[in-house]
Structure 1
Amino acid sequence: AIYCKHRARALFVELEALNARRDNLEIEWGQLQLEQSAWSTHAFVERVASARLHMAMPPPKEIEVITP
């Protein structure tokens, strides 16, 4: 009976630790999703292309839209 109580307490402590880890991972997942959505915006991509890659939008008359 004493062993069972000790084991139950140990398992409960482990369960609480796992629940806390899950909660932290869910928070991190949400933050990563927000970060991904920010990185995929047109404005962000354009800013990075301009600043890091020294790219620039061509003049409108040089842009051709190709449709399938």
Structure 2
Amino acid sequence: MTGRLCLLLTILLVACALSVVSAQYKARSLFIELERAQSAARQLDVDWAQLQLDQSTLGKNARIEELARRDLGMVPVSAARTQYLTVGAP
């Protein structure tokens, strides 16, 4: 009877030990995954801030005007180049 009880307790102890090891392994794996996700989130925040800065830089009126003059050959409107249309004029 005592031998069987010792054997049963030993099996139970080994099962509990394996359960603890398995739980610790899973916890470490989840922690590593969490760290990777947080690192990716930080990188996305940095990228988002950079994109916002780029958008504000690219959207400035001075830059748009300079590109319009250089690439499209546009010039500002002057009174000499303005044509006025009137309704009913022949």
Q: Per the shorter chain, which TM-score range? A: 0.7 to 0.9
For 1:26, the equivalent position in structure 2 comes to 45
Q: What is the Cα deviation at residue 37 of structure 1? A: 0.6
Highest RCO, 1 vs 2 (Cα 8 Å, sep ≥ 6): 1
TM-score of the superposition, structure 2-length normalised?
0.63
- Looking at structure 2, the residues matched to 28 and 43 of structure 1 have their Cα atoms a distance apart, in angstroms, of 25
**Structure 1 residue ranges, 4+ long, deviating more than 4 angstroms after superposition:** none
- Looking at structure 2, the residues matched to 54 and 2 of structure 1 have their Cα atoms a distance apart, in angstroms, of 72
How does 1:1-68 map onto structure 2 within 5 Å? Answer: 1-59=20-78, 61=79, 62=82
Greater displacement, 46-55 / 26-35: 46-55
AA aligned opposite 1:35: D
- Give the greater-gyration-radius structure (CA): 2
Q: What is the Cα deviation at residue 56 of structure 1? A: 1.5
TM-score of the superposition, structure 1-length normalised?
0.81
RMSD: 1.0
AA aligned opposite 2:55: Q
Aligned length: 61
The percent identity for this pair of structures is 33
Gaps of 5+ in 2: 1-19, 83-90
